[in-house]
Amino acid sequence: MFKLAPLPFAKDALEPHVSVETLACHYGKHHKAYVDKVNELTKGTDLADLDLVALIRKAARDTTQKTLFNNAAQVWNHDFYWQSLAPDGGGEPGGALAERIERDFGGYDNFRKTFSETAVGQFGSGYCWLVCGADGKLKIQATANAETPIADGKDVPLLTTDVWEHAYYLDYQNRRADYLDTFLDHLVNWAFAEANLAAVTRRQAAA
Ligand code: MN
């Protein structure tokens, strides 16, 4: 059985930036529905024994498994999105991440502008990611719908934001740019991104 992972914070912990109502619906209904659908689609098959990332990669290579891919990727993407959020988060990162952002984006202000423009510019549903490429360079990329960098494993995600309307419509209606400002200034979990960067840097150094 694939499980709905617990939220890494209380449902009211992101108020006033993300309301209890948004989390109740986004986590309790949307995210849960993806988990339930993956269990329904894999029940009684060998796929049920795979770990989630292996399942996503297998489904991504099989054009007959698009529904399974979409739902499994959405389970993983949401787990990663919740961890990308923190009460009292946002603002400029420090440490190694600040150095890499300086090197690869020419400073935090450029990073912030590019991230926001990329997220706002994603037409329709999807995500905006900060990833570390195989060359060790940090990049910002948007993906559509359930698409996820882990499907091919080339770029390693450090951080994401969900730009599906269900992520922000109750709190910000059509104002995606305001949701992005709030994400960047109040919600980004830099400690999570930094831990992800440290892990990928270690793996790349060992390779
Ligand atoms: Mn979502």
**Ligand 1: centre distance to CA 201 (Å):** 28
Token pair belonging to 165 = 């309307």
**Ligand 1: centre distance to CA 75 (Å):** 9
**Ligand 1: centre distance to CA 96 (Å):** 29
Does 104 share its domain with 194? yes
Q: Which CATH number goes with the domain that contains 129?
A: 3.55.40.20
What pLDDT does 165 receive?
Answer: 97
Which pTM was predicted?
Answer: 0.97
**Ligand 1: centre distance to CA 48 (Å):** 23
Last residue of a domain, one of 63, 83, 103: 83
**Ligand 1: centre distance to CA 81 (Å):** 8
For 131-143, the pLDDT digits (tens) are 999 999 999 999 9
**Ligand 1: centre distance to CA 40 (Å):** 20
Question: In angstroms, rounded to a whole number, what is the distance separating the alpha carbons of residues 153 and 147?
Answer: 12
Does 78 share its domain with 133? no
For 186-203, the pLDDT digits (tens) are 999 999 999 999 999 999
Measure the N-to-C terminal CA separation of the chain; round to a whole number of Å: 33
**Ligand 1: centre distance to CA 138 (Å):** 24
Q: How many independent structural domains does the chain possess? A: 2
Where in the sequence is the domain holding 75, given as residue range(s)?
A: 20-83
Neighbours of ion ligand 1 (CB under 5 A): 162, 164, 167
18-37 per-residue burial string, b: 16 or more CB within 10 A, e: under 16: bbeebbebbbeeebeebbeb
Does 102 share its domain with 200? yes
What pLDDT does 207 receive?
Answer: 84
Does 99 share its domain with 180? yes
Question: In angstroms, rounded to a whole number, what is the distance separating the alpha carbons of residues 140 and 161?
Answer: 11
**Ligand 1: centre distance to CA 205 (Å):** 33
Flag residues of the chain having pLDDT under 50: none
What pLDDT does 39 receive?
Answer: 98
Does 105 share its domain with 161? yes
Q: Which amino acid is at 126?
A: G
**Ligand 1: centre distance to CA 15 (Å):** 18
